[in-house]
Structure 1
């Protein structure tokens, strides 16, 4: 199979929504990129529509139930900040970048989720120090490419202020331009979280979110200019994509409070979970319920408790069985999956009241308290994301009515001259030249 492009550059603007398309098409650099590009304004994310499952789906062409990144974080009761699915080893499937590496190609990844300890040659993985004794730089070095990261940190580390935005994306942008200029990888993947962060803390339509789109426009312009200045543009395919949209919310569902009251969760004298028979694991706008022991009687009891709870609070849109969740691509090992109504989202807490109002003063100060979130069903209204491709191997001006995130991995593989096997999506043949 013939390779269609020399350089594939994939830019993920986390949280970019279909609802942003009209606005970004008025911004100078998005406008010049969208012109003569092939694009889809209605891209369905995966279920749950979270960053880590989404980015794993992008590189595998599979749904979460098949690549096994079924959430952002692991089930770790009592941890305020559970560990994330940081390492490549969590993905139980082939990725298009692994095949590329095996075929002698060079890959760069900047804050691309689930790439820790992968074979990527220029790797600055998304990972943070999650223990008091850990150091951020050491954790990153141990999970990525040490010399590459040392060089980037030496040049641009002064820009970054921990995980705060827009400083983190400004740092990644500098590293990206340097990497494209000096390394010229066959594949470059960069993940920017400025927009998603601002929407979480300020709301979907906030001024802060609009400002982040302006910064993304500037970043896109610098990338386009870099490709031209390095004479890469004629041989490059540039893809701009989102991983999910988000929805405003103002109420929190803490169903583990109910499971504790019903005796499925046992706590110690410090009100810490010491054992559980059933537990909720949140995915933001949706949540899994897992049980220990395949006990049908216990599942029936939980189902009745859920229905009674929902008749009182009217906060859950759907109660899905394991089979129904799996059909939508979510974790087939769950016992139930809950879909929150608009305005609600789930947390894991077993303390306090089962339903809490979001307090503005807690946003940004109390962990996991936000004004907008995601993780909902990809089929909620006005909740799709976007995909825009242009350059080598891409036909100009093709508009795709709708597509799925799982259609991207196979398409990227085809551009690179090989097949990604057993994908859940399809190859976007209509845009390939």
Structure 2
């Protein structure tokens, strides 16, 4: 049995490997790694949906996380799927816990309150704008959300390093997580440690898919990786550690924000206040970035909602409409929506229920920023899955899916699990779906 260290880099593309292969931290891992390129994602390609599949080995239809954010039109979906109880399936943490291994997580999505994580500092933040408007209100509010989500030892780590935090803003959040990781590794030497970093994703959202700021973000991630590697070496566990660096999704360029809820409101399906907030609704399209999920309180309102959106389909502003059954059968998706829509290229789906139907993309919300995701899994750039350490056969491979990552990492680390229960498969096993590629990059 070996230790397992997983560092997810949000929005890392396979094409970025050419950018990071000469950076010290990534080079140390990539030089001895099995690199699975262009991993097939889930739908919608959102961080929390992806990370639920990465840590469990299940499609969304089974793990139960449909989106980053919990549907609540009145607050524009302020709360996220932070809590571990959102999951309907076991994860790597549960299998490791059953094997009496020491488990840890720092900043990993959908882990707040997880009983199977011994040392847990979950990804949570203060979502109410009234509370993060000033330091006086933000501090106590942050304490409250972390106290709810952390394990006792995780709370101690939070208290030791919370001075680095600026709510959910990056790179401060990743600096906080890295400080917690280093402290945790040296203090507890966990058998399993998962951590998630998001500065790269923020750089793309704020500046563009391939903006110069992306390269600076990659250098920051390399520095944080170096710090974790150094901590593992000081702890004496480096040589017996399986390293995993997954990306989670791609990004696509967005020039315009499309607000379908404006048409639903005009059709009388959403009741909108003078300030544009939602007072009530019969049908509402929750933005998933490039896609959107149409919810109806009563299925009898679905035809009216579809009719209201038909002009967007006729004009080519919506490229695809998928029924719930389509999403389930084709992409193993989950949720209680009636149907999903996919925006045309260069469009993101907005949440506005009043105002103009089409406006320039902005940076006030990741879902319709100048670069975003949530798109169909065959669109845009794809993430890599990087594995190095004991038992790993270096090389380049194709054919991986996000759901294959959990069984692969558990198999390599020697964590017992019920392979027949999972949707994914061990990519390192003989006869797996992985296909070798020429090792010429």
Taking structure 1 as the reference length, the TM-score comes to 0.91
Q: Which residue of 2 aligns with 1:324?
A: 326
> What SS does structure 2 have at the residue aligned with 1:47?
coil
Contact map agreement 1:110 1:189 (CA 8 A) in 2: yes
Residue 150 of structure 1: how far off its partner (Å): 2.6
Residue 332 of structure 1: how far off its partner (Å): 5.2
Unmatched tracts of structure 1, length 5 or more = none
Q: Which residue of 2 aligns with 1:200?
A: 205
Q: Which residue of 1 aligns with 2:165?
A: 160
Corresponding residue pairs, total: 418
Distance in 2 separating the partners of 1:89 and 1:377: 27
Determine which of 228, 238, 243 is the counterpart of 2:233.
228
Any runs of at least 4 consecutive aligned residues in structure 1 with deviations exceeding 6 A, and if so which?
none
More deviation in 237-246 or 218-227?
218-227
Q: Which residue of 1 aligns with 2:377?
A: 378
- Matching of residues 213-292 of structure 1 within 5 Å: 213-268=218-273, 271-292=276-297
Report whether the alignment pairs 1:20 with 2:5: no
Distance in 2 separating the partners of 1:12 and 1:213: 13
> What SS does structure 2 have at the residue aligned with 1:385?
coil
Distance in 2 separating the partners of 1:293 and 1:168: 40
- Matching of residues 343-422 of structure 1 within 5 Å: 343-359=346-362, 363-364=363-364, 370-380=369-379, 382-394=380-392, 396-414=393-411, 415=413, 416-422=415-421
Q: Which residue of 2 aligns with 1:41?
A: 37
Residue 232 of structure 1: how far off its partner (Å): 0.9
Q: Which residue of 1 aligns with 2:341?
A: 338
Task: Pick closer, same or farther for the CA change 1:218–1:53 going to 2, 3 Å.
Answer: same
Q: Which residue of 2 aligns with 1:52?
A: 48
For residues 68-125 of structure 1, the C-alpha deviation after alignment (integer angstroms, 9 at most, x for no partner) is 1000111111214510011011111121211211221111110100111111111111
Determine which of 105, 112, 118 is the counterpart of 2:108.
112
For residues 128-165 of structure 1, the C-alpha deviation after alignment (integer angstroms, 9 at most, x for no partner) is 123446610221012112443234432x3333333332
Distance in 1 separating the partners of 2:176 and 2:337: 38
Contact map agreement 2:199 2:217 (CA 8 A) in 1: yes
Contact map agreement 2:4 2:242 (CA 8 A) in 1: yes
Taking structure 2 as the reference length, the TM-score comes to 0.89
Contact map agreement 1:323 1:332 (CA 8 A) in 2: no
Task: Pick closer, same or farther for the CA change 1:430–1:102 going to 2, 3 Å.
Answer: closer
More deviation in 48-57 or 174-183?
174-183
The alignment's C-alpha RMSD in Å is 2.1
Residue 367 of structure 1: how far off its partner (Å): 7.9
Residue 264 of structure 1: how far off its partner (Å): 1.6
Distance in 2 separating the partners of 1:95 and 1:309: 40
Unmatched tracts of structure 2, length 5 or more = 132-139, 433-441
Contact map agreement 1:96 1:420 (CA 8 A) in 2: no
Q: Which residue of 2 aligns with 1:99?
A: 95
